[in-house]
Structure 1
Amino acid sequence: MSRFAKAGDTVEKLVENSYKAIDEGAYDLKREVSHDAISLKKAILSCPHAPLITEVKFSSPSRGQIRNFGTPAEIALAMEEAGATALSVLTQPYLFDGSVQNLIAIRKAVAIPLLMKDIVVSDVQIDAAKKAGADCILLIKAVFDRNLAESSMESLYDRAAKKGLQVLVEAHSSQEYADCIKSRYELVGINNRNLSDLAVDIKNTERLIKEHGKGSSIIISESGISKPADIQYLKKAGADAFLVGTSIMETGDIGAKVAELYNAL
């Protein structure tokens, strides 16, 4: 039985999967990775070329299986050596084939900031992020606007901050993004993918920045980025950094693809 009366679109399905993973103990860690926090914000601001947050994910709801070879640590190291500013690591087991164990393995392999990429609905996941060696977590505003999480976004944001984790707040719609800018979140992601129907429109970043500006936030454009021209366009539109997953993970030479995008600016 679903926890929600409505189970119509992808957001509810993703949230349901998070609760399922929590119930099954996917985020239970007995040991903590010893790790001094690395600032994602500072890494972005000090990047001499295109600040890339490259994503380690093996599957997605929109594409199914993306990659079936290479260990998480090997892939992460190739990304780091090719210029990745930070890594986004999927830890959601359902639909993404992710795990907190992947995050731990990657933390041991690289020295750049790690974003734990998940559909966070509970402090259980935040605690796991800290123990696994993440530097930043993702909070998706739509999840909280629909009251699908165990706590408010402010409560989970504060819990993360108290643990020394930075928070990337993700918006897709005009209202979500306007609220983020008004709240002056340090890191704001604009998802070019509509999580309700999974449609991608890379122009969403430009549209929202034109409508509401950037304030003091660092803006990270997410989804639909596959070539240097995309990064050049998004930079001109006002994006400060770029989260790229599928187009890198599906290529045969991850290092070459990351280097190509990194040198776009």
Structure 2
Amino acid sequence: MSVLTGKAALVTGATSGIGRAGARALARDGAHVFLVGRRQDALDDTVTEIGYQKASAIRADVTHPADLARITAAVETRGGGLDIVFANAGVAEVAPLGNITWDHYARTFNTNVGGIILTVQAVLPLLNEGASVILCGSAGDVKASPGTSVYAASKTAIRSLARSWAAELVDRRIRVNVVAPGLTETPGLAGLFVGADDALEDLTATVPMKRRARPEEIGSVISFLASPGSSYITGSEIYADGGASQF
């Protein structure tokens, strides 16, 4: 039996990049995964890839309260509650100081911070004792990069949330941790560097391992944090960044 057999997982932002890789890893290790995303076609593709016996699609935007209610209703309909939450939905946009707008700030914080807060709060009554909550942070919370101050601040807030929630939920044996990816081969990263391939390669050269992560490598960390193998880890942040934040 796989380590997550019989477990139910919820993954937001599940239709591409790290979210999709995390969903695939959790399903591979035995969990049934509720996939949350905004695009039905991408949800359908992901369900087909994972398999209908292992995945269910929920079209929703985590910044909309009515959509959060639809997520909880879908989980309640299946029954059995949730054992794993990977709160991953987020946005990344470049805006150097001097060009930051209220819209940029609001969009970043409403999704990256507000969306995570309200997602975890919405499913809190559905979390089984011993559940694992995994928040998607970023190595950018400790590694400066020009133009990403608002994004980095949002990810630093996520780190703080994990500490507080881990303390609040420890009596229910619910663990809360952060996975902090570095440069990862995702559509989101590619979108940030459209027409700037040289800049991306220069940034990659600063990573001690001299390469970007594959999404499945981050997925494996997510599955570990969901598994009994991490049963004594809570309130922690796991950097998966090729050493970029450490030396």
Q: What TM-score do you get using the length of structure 1 for normalisation?
A: 0.35
Higher relative helix content: 2
